[in-house]
Amino acid sequence: DIQMSQSPSSLSASVGDRVTITCRASQSIDRYLNWYQHKPGKAPKLLIYAASSLHSGVPSRFSGRGSGTDFTLTLSSVQAEDFATYYCQQSYSFPWTFGQGTQVEIK
Amino acid sequence: EVQLLESGGGLAQPGKSLRVSCRASGFTFSGYGMSWVRQAPGKGLEWVSAISGGGGGTYYADSVKGRFTISRDNANNTLILQMDSLRVDDTAVYYCTKETSMVHTSFDFWGQGTLVTVSS
């Protein structure tokens, strides 16, 4: 199985900060990497698919990069509504797997 | 508008069975693969199972293989997860998700989730 590892596990940021979250796969997954945002009590939302493609309706302050084993999700200027937990997920091979999550908190 | 509405969650004893369902609307259900994703209390997201649009392909996480069965009723736009031999660590919110039809599969729509609690 492909293991997904995110760092950091949590971070504190102020509104307007630039934030970067890293996701590493245990083997190459090409660009089969997605990013989701999850707020407590809500359904998760797709942000980025295929490593760098922005899902419809997602603000352009979100961006993704990477291929192979190393990926990043960047929020160029964190807004109040962005405080949530973020997950990466590989769809390269079954079983599909998620990273453990990165909680973005208000400083 | 895509809508996914889960039902059937609740309390079950260890070793017993439970069935959760997901009624889909707003898209051509048979044209898309579907998955179940769960979140145990205080834990992260875990993919559980997937099924192809026609139902001929099914896939499972190792943690549920042999105990859970995914199926779909395309005539009634319904996704089903039959959970047998339930364990305490199956306790979670179970989300129904729609998969994209692209080569790079992702979960583009999610239901609100249904809580399954396994406890004696």
At position A104, the amino acid (one-letter code) is V
**How many Cβ pairs closer than 8 A exist between chain A and B?**
65
Q: How far is A76 from chain B (nearest CA, A)?
A: 23
Q: How far, in Å, CA of A90 to CA of A34, rounded?
A: 6
pLDDT digits (tens, 9 = 90+) for B45-82: 999 999 999 999 999 999 999 999 999 999 999 999 99
B interface test, pick of A30, A91, A103 with most B CB neighbours within 10 Å: A91
Closest residue in A to B108 (Cα–Cα): A46
Nearest one of B30, B39, B29 to B9, comparing CA atoms: B39
pLDDT the model gives residue B3: 98
CB contact under 8 A, A95 and B111: no
- Region of A91 please: left (phi>0), alpha (psi -120 to 50) or beta: alpha
CB contact under 8 A, A89 and B47: yes
pLDDT the model gives residue B103: 81
What's phi and psi for B36, nearest 5 deg?
Answer: -110, 135
Going by pLDDT thresholds of 50, 70 and 90, the confidence category of residue B91 is very high
- Per-residue pLDDT for B102 more than 80? no
- Cβ count near A44 (within 10 Å): 23
CB B20 within 8 A of CB B94: yes
CB contact under 8 A, A91 and B105: yes
Q: Does any CB of chain B come closer than 8 Å to the CB of residue A36? A: yes
At position A68, the amino acid (one-letter code) is G
At position B17, the amino acid (one-letter code) is S
* 107 residues of chain A, pLDDT tens digit each: 999 999 999 999 999 999 999 999 999 999 999 999 999 999 999 999 999 999 999 999 999 999 999 999 999 999 999 999 999 999 999 999 999 999 999 88
A interface test, pick of B107, B109, B112, B115 with most A CB neighbours within 10 Å: B107
Q: How far, in Å, CA of B108 to CA of B86, rounded?
A: 28
Q: How far, in Å, CA of B100 to CA of B105, rounded?
A: 5
pLDDT the model gives residue A107: 87
Going by pLDDT thresholds of 50, 70 and 90, the confidence category of residue B101 is confident
CA distances from A90 to A35, A56, A70, A78, B73 (A): 9, 20, 12, 25, 27
B31-43 average pLDDT score: 97
Nearest one of A25, A26, A77, A76 to A51, comparing CA atoms: A25
Contacts of A32 in chain B (CB under 8 A): 104-105
Q: How far, in Å, CA of A22 to CA of A80, rounded?
A: 21
pLDDT the model gives residue B104: 85
Q: How far, in Å, CA of A69 to CA of B33, rounded?
A: 26
What's phi and psi for B89, nearest 5 deg?
Answer: -80, 5
Going by pLDDT thresholds of 50, 70 and 90, the confidence category of residue B93 is very high
